[in-house]
Amino acid sequence: MRKSTFLKWKIRQAAFITKALASTNHVVLAHIIPMRRCNLACGYCNEYDQVSKPVPLDVMKKRLDKLAELGTSIVTISGGEPMMHPQLDEMVRHIRSRGMIAGLISNGYYFTPDRIKRLNEAGLDALQISIDNVNPDEVSRKSLRVLDKKLRYLAEHADFHININSVIGGGIKQPEDALTVAQRAVELGFSTTVGVIHDDDGTLKPLSEKEKEIFHAVKKLGNKDHARLNWFQDSIAEGKPYEWRCRSGSRYLYICEDGKVHWCSQQRGYPGIPLEDYTMEDFKREYKTEKWCAPTCTIQCVHQVGILDNWRDPQMSEAAMRKEKAQKERVGQVLRAE
């Protein structure tokens, strides 16, 4: 089952990459938040609370419809912990009904055989779980010892692709745990990646020599496709900035629980435009806007989307963007006067 699931995912992945390379006029990946609440409180995480209510299903469907109108290829449901939303299956089903790939990011705590089968029926395409350590501690309870039973359930019952992301940095006490987690993922037939935990603003925190050694060992276990899309991580592991063109706000969208578009999970607040009001003018502006945080960004999904367009369409500073806008307005005034 795992091999056939992986093959189906590879075919769908190839299709959206081909579409992305052929045209820049659509969203490649959107992360959407149906609730901010989480059952955990990991020490490095700034993406949760413990009080928020779920976003109503009808509101979520309208947001998903808007993403479909923007030509979005992949919608990944994140959080908080999205498995706590009582109507998650209906969201997944709606994503698929609009012709988009349905992804999910979860801490893994809520997976039972029945729950997995329901996600199969809804049409989930891909799941990612990040596991921080082997044994829980005060920094994180996303631990292999706690989650291994859930992983075995997934290996036995899931019809969707599964990636296990192990992490290094951010106060994780035993960096060698990342290698243990990755090895277990491979044993169960899952793909595996490794992430460098960012600072509070989502930017670079250099790894120690020991962490770098473990980081490269884990990367060797990962599949070649992820390695090709994660070149930037080699610079990050060395504590060096990486020059690239971030396309957040355009090819990548982050939609918070309030329905507003932000650059990413770590740069919430801008542009801060409600998704329902987001236009291709906003898309084009953010596509061209140079992001101040890009050289030291550690967020894998945003980098992977950016790689698709890193070879074309240079970006501009905010000052240059303002100058270009003023020039266009002057030209418009002249044309209207004529």
Domain boundaries, the chain: 2-321
2-321 has which fold? TIM Barrel (3.20.20)
Least confident of 101-115, 226-240, 302-316: 226-240
Per-residue pLDDT band at 248 (split at 50, 70, 90): very high
Residue 207 has a pLDDT of 79
Residue 227 has a pLDDT of 47
Q: How far from chain centre, in Å, is Cα 291?
A: 17
Contact 125, 9 (CB under 8 A): yes
Residue whose tokens read 């290094």: 168
* Segment 52-69 mean pLDDT: 97
- How would DSSP label each residue in 258-319? TSEEES-TTSTTSEEEEGGG--HHHHHHHHHBPPTTGGGB--HHHHHHHHTTTTSS--B-HH
* Residues 99, 68: Cα–Cα separation, whole Å: 8
Give percent of the chain with pLDDT exceeding 70: 88
Taking all residues of the chain, what is their mean pLDDT, rounded to a whole number? 88
286 has pLDDT over 90: yes
Residue 333 has a pLDDT of 64
Residue 231 has a pLDDT of 64
Residue 280 has a pLDDT of 95
* Span 173-182, pLDDT tens digits: 788 999 999 9
Residue 225 has a pLDDT of 52
Identity of the amino acid at 295: P
* Segment 75-84 mean pLDDT: 97
Residue 109 has a pLDDT of 97
Q: In this structure, what are the phi and psi dihedrals at residue 130, rounded to the nearest 5 degrees? A: -95, 130
